[in-house]
Amino acid sequence: MCGIFAVFNYKNAAQLTYEGLFGLQHRGQESTGIVTSDGRKVYKDKYKGMGLVNEVYVKTNKEAKEGQVPLEELIGDIAIGHIRYSTEGSSSIRNAQPITVTHKDKVYAIAHNGNLTNYADLKKKLENKGSIFKTTSDTEIILHLITKSKKKKLENKVYDALKQAKGAYSLVLMTKEELIVARDPYGFRPVSLGKLNNTYLVASETCAFDQTEARYIRDISPGEILKINKKGKESIFLPSKKHKFCIMELIYFARPDSYVFGKSVQGIRKEFGRQLAREHPVEADIVIAIPDSGKYAAWGYAQESGILQEDGINRNHYIARTFIKPSGRSASVKIKLNPVKEILQRKRNVTVDDTIVRSNTMKGVVRMEREAGASEVHGRISAPKIRYPCYYGMDFPTKEELVGSSRTVEEIRRIIGLDSLGYLSKKGMLDCTGECKKEFCTACFDGKYPV
């Protein structure tokens, strides 16, 4: 999963993009990049780095250390930005985005959130036609397809390219004078349009608009290709498909203060917790959330069950999210989370989390709770059992790494060391989303892949 942000018509676009990316930092911590244009030139000589947004960027050249990028060198009123965690292509500076290319004296820069499922086929075809790739990221495929198009208008070049792409993508593309925003016809990944006075902004989540004091206008529609330039904005559309929004955005990935797919993320997570309590009640003294992703589901569970909620696990906020770190997941659980003995001792507790993917976090937490003196630990998960890999941008691309792929709930309970384990049903989860419950991708739960 990644985060994208873009700005059109703002005097210091790089600074505004920095602020927007800061608001999207939860979507990836491996690398970040910002490319800008002043209408005459695209500034791309030194624009990206490995690490967090506030580690890579500084204001001035004087402050910059090795590997850091001074924002004062990123000149212009147009910008696109990206924060990354890798699902296709290794974690390296060459795969950091935006990715740029110069074709017939025209510079293109692209930033992408998602995964192309026909990446290998497209790459082979392009290589057979003479394309040379400088990254191992699927994002570069789209850039090559755009430059191969014989159409004159930028939006038509993008249309030509995306007609050939399969899978999930929300992307921003810029030249020295235009900005393009596009979303796949299924609408897998969120992307929204905002405005700040006469400035247009684009973001993966609405929380980034709050960060920059912009107002949300609307979501980019599935299949939409939106062009923004000095003349205004104009949209064309790819052939429509049945919507398949990624339910994991609401379960885990999006920030709780965002609105995603028209839904309040925090509100939906609380409702997941309430439904979970209705489906899997248990006698207990306290409800505990695994912070931070289990927080709102735990609130909902406590409200519905009438069981007291306590903060029995403390989170160290100076470590990145465990699930999206590419390595060292097991070791990071101990560093990230710590039980509060005074709360847990001699208590029967319900420990709530959003998902169990590989089981590292839940297993580590249960062990710590037992050591802290908990008399019973009951696991409650505010999503169905993850049984199948995701090919659309979530970081579990193989069935073998999923603890739920071939095990029963009872087997998982024993592996983790719980007294009981309950998952939210797929029907219960979808019912919580209201009128759009048929518009979600649930392939990781049921193996029904849309594309």
Residues involved in catalysis: 2
The alpha-helical segments, DSSP class H, found in 194-241 are: 207-212
Classify strands 224-229 and 42-43 as parallel, antiparallel or unpaired. Answer: unpaired
CA dist., res. 110 & res. 33, Å (int): 11
Would you call the peptide bond into 292 cis, given omega within 30 degrees of 0 as the criterion? yes
Q: Can you list the pairs that 427-431 forms with residues at least 24 positions away whose Cβ atoms lie under 8 Å?
A: 428/275, 428/276, 428/278, 428/279, 429/247, 429/251, 429/272, 429/275, 429/382, 429/383, 429/384, 430/247, 431/275
Nearest to residue 195, comparing CAs of 211, 221, 179, 213?
A: 213
Dihedral (CA of 101, 171, 156, 231) sign: negative
Paired strand residues for 70:
58
The two tokens of residue 384 are 């169905």
Burial class (CB in 10 A: 0-12, 13-18, 19+), 415: middle
Any residues with CB less than 8 A from the CB of 146 and at least 6 apart, and which? 108, 110, 157, 158, 160, 161, 173
Burial class (CB in 10 A: 0-12, 13-18, 19+), 240: exposed
Nearest to residue 177, comparing CAs of 103, 102, 108, 97?
A: 108
CA dist., res. 127 & res. 177, Å (int): 29
Neighbouring CB atoms inside 10 A of 34's CB total: 30
CA dist., res. 140 & res. 147, Å (int): 11
The alpha-helical segments, DSSP class H, found in 28-138 are: 53-56, 119-128
Contact between 168 and 158 under an 8 Å Cβ cutoff? The reply is: no
